[in-house]
Chain A
Amino acid sequence: MSEQIPLSFTLNGKPVAAFVEPRKSLADFLREDRALTATRLGCEMGTCGACLVMMDGAPAHACLVLAAQAEGAEITTLEGQSEDALMADLQAAFVDRNAAQCGFCTSGMLTTALAYVRQGGTPDRAAIRDALSGNYCRCTGYEAIVDAIAGVAEAAMHKEAAA
Chain B
Amino acid sequence: MKAPAFTFERAPTLGDAFDLFEAGGGEAIYLAGGHSVVPSLALRLQAPETLIDIAAIPELSGIREEAGMLRIGAMTRHAEILADPLVATHAPLLAMAAPHVAHPAIRNRGTIGGNLCHADPASEFPAVMLALEAEMEIAAPEGHRRVPARDFFVDLYETACAPGEILVALHVPVAGPATRCAFDEISRRRGDYAMIGCAVQITLEAGRIADPRVAFLSVGATPRRVPGCEAVLHDALLSAATIAKAQDALGADLDPMDDPNVPPAMRLHLARVLLGRLLGQLENDHV
Enumerate chain A interface residues (CB-CB to B < 8 A): 1-3, 5, 21-23, 25, 28, 44-46, 49, 52, 55, 58-61, 63-66, 68-69, 71, 112, 115, 129-131, 133-134
Q: How far is the CB of B38 from chain A (nearest CB, A)?
A: 5
Residues from chain B with Cβ under 8 Å of A112 in the complex: 104-105
Task: Pick the residue among A5, A25, A44 that contacts B8 (CB under 8 A).
Answer: A5
Fill in one digit per residue for B188-221: 1 if any A CB lies within 8 Å of its CB, else 0: 0111000000000000000000000000000000
Inter-chain CA distance A63–B4, complex, in Å, is 14
Enumerate chain B interface residues (CB-CB to A < 8 A): 1-8, 10, 31, 34-35, 38-39, 41-43, 51, 53, 55, 79, 102-106, 108-109, 189-191
Inter-chain CA distance A25–B279, complex, in Å, is 45
Closest to B5 in A: A2
Asked whether, in the complex, the Cβ of B39 is within 8 Å of the Cβ of A59, the reply is no
Inter-chain CA distance A23–B6, complex, in Å, is 6
Residues from chain B with Cβ under 8 Å of A28 in the complex: 2
Asked whether, in the complex, the Cβ of A134 is within 8 Å of the Cβ of B42, the reply is no
Shortest beta-carbon contacts, A-B, top 6: A134-B103, A22-B8, A45-B39, A133-B191, A59-B105, A58-B108
Asked whether, in the complex, the Cβ of A46 is within 8 Å of the Cβ of B108, the reply is no
Asked whether, in the complex, the Cβ of A58 is within 8 Å of the Cβ of B79, the reply is yes
Asked whether, in the complex, the Cβ of A23 is within 8 Å of the Cβ of B190, the reply is no
Residues from chain B with Cβ under 8 Å of A45 in the complex: 39, 42-43
Q: How far is the CB of B193 from chain A (nearest CB, A)?
A: 12
Asked whether, in the complex, the Cβ of A1 is within 8 Å of the Cβ of B5, the reply is yes
Residues from chain A with Cβ under 8 Å of B104 in the complex: 59, 112, 115, 131, 133-134
Closest to B102 in A: A134
Task: Pick the residue among B1, B6, B39, B51 that contacts A46 (CB under 8 A).
Answer: B39
Asked whether, in the complex, the Cβ of A3 is within 8 Å of the Cβ of B105, the reply is no
Residues from chain A with Cβ under 8 Å of B1 in the complex: 44
Task: Pick the residue among B53, B79, B105 that contacts A49 (CB under 8 A).
Answer: B105
Residues from chain B with Cβ under 8 Å of A1 in the complex: 5
Closest to A3 in B: B7
Closest to A59 in B: B105
Residues from chain A with Cβ under 8 Å of B39 in the complex: 44-46, 64
Task: Pick the residue among A22, A131, A133 that contacts B6 (CB under 8 A).
Answer: A22
Residues from chain A with Cβ under 8 Å of B6 in the complex: 2, 22-23
Q: Contacts A2-B5, A45-B43; is A69 near B55 (CB within 8 Å)?
A: yes
Inter-chain CA distance A108–B83, complex, in Å, is 23
Residues from chain B with Cβ under 8 Å of A129 in the complex: 190
Closest to B41 in A: A23
Asked whether, in the complex, the Cβ of A65 is within 8 Å of the Cβ of B105, the reply is no
Report which residue of A5, A21, A46 has the largest number of chain B beta carbons within 10 angstroms of its beta carbon.
Answer: A46
Task: Pick the residue among A23, A55, A68 that contacts B108 (CB under 8 A).
Answer: A55
Inter-chain CA distance A45–B190, complex, in Å, is 18
Task: Pick the residue among A2, A66, A134 that contacts B7 (CB under 8 A).
Answer: A2
Residues from chain A with Cβ under 8 Å of B41 in the complex: 23
Task: Pick the residue among B4, B5, B10, B191 that contacts A134 (CB under 8 A).
Answer: B191
Task: Pick the residue among A25, A49, A61, A130 that contacts B109 (CB under 8 A).
Answer: A61
Asked whether, in the complex, the Cβ of A55 is within 8 Å of the Cβ of B191, the reply is no
Q: How far is the CB of B132 from chain A (nearest CB, A)?
A: 25
Residues from chain A with Cβ under 8 Å of B105 in the complex: 49, 52, 58-61, 112, 134
Closest to B40 in A: A45
Asked whether, in the complex, the Cβ of A69 is within 8 Å of the Cβ of B31, the reply is yes
Closest to B10 in A: A71
Given contacts A44-B1, A66-B38, 16 further A-B contacts (CB under 8 A): A2-B7, A5-B8, A22-B7, A22-B8, A49-B105, A55-B109, A59-B108, A61-B109, A65-B34, A66-B51, A69-B31, A69-B53, A133-B103, A133-B189, A133-B190, A134-B191
Residues from chain B with Cβ under 8 Å of A49 in the complex: 103, 105
Q: How far is the CB of B186 from chain A (nearest CB, A)?
A: 15
Residues from chain A with Cβ under 8 Å of B102 in the complex: 134
